[in-house]
Amino acid sequence: MPLTLTLTEGVLPKGQEKVAFSRLSDAMLKWHGLAGNKALTPNIVGSIHVLPKEHTYSGSKEASVAFVEWKVPSFAFASRDVQVGYIEEATSIIHELSGARHPKERIWVNVVHAVDGAWGIAGMALTNAQLGEGAASA
């Protein structure tokens, strides 16, 4: 389940991007009741993109920003409690790691759902049921 963390250079102190990625990933598993799950934990993957300020925008103007984006199966983030709780925690993680300098108003969190059956791991197209079975058996 890929996490893409995109930040304007300077939003977080250098080196804290990795800490943010780890904490955001751990929070996602926690909110889904999957902390330590042996099947899903190794499939939390992703990338960190740190961009110069002239390449990030808010309101069509150059601005420092933070984007937290997950690509997940459609059963993830389905509960309103998980949505609200995770987004609040993710926003707080970025804000805290910025030294409370980066405004929460410029931290965006979103989730993109994959079509059922189009989730690929190790060359296998897995359905939501197959993913659920794998997580439950781990």
pTM (2 d.p.): 0.92
Reported in sequence order, the residue ranges of 30-138 that DSSP labels E, i.e. its strands, are 45-51, 57-58, 61-62, 66-73, 107-114, 119-121, 124-126
Q: How many domains does the chain have?
A: 1
CATH number of 10's domain: 3.30.429.10
pLDDT > 90 fraction of the chain, expressed in percent and rounded:
80
* Nearest C-alpha neighbor of 118 from the set 72, 83, 68: 72
Please check whether residue 25 is in contact with residue 76, taking contact to mean a CB–CB distance below 8 angstroms.
no
Domain around 70: 2-137
Per-residue model confidence as pLDDT tens digits over 87-106: 999 999 999 999 999 999 99
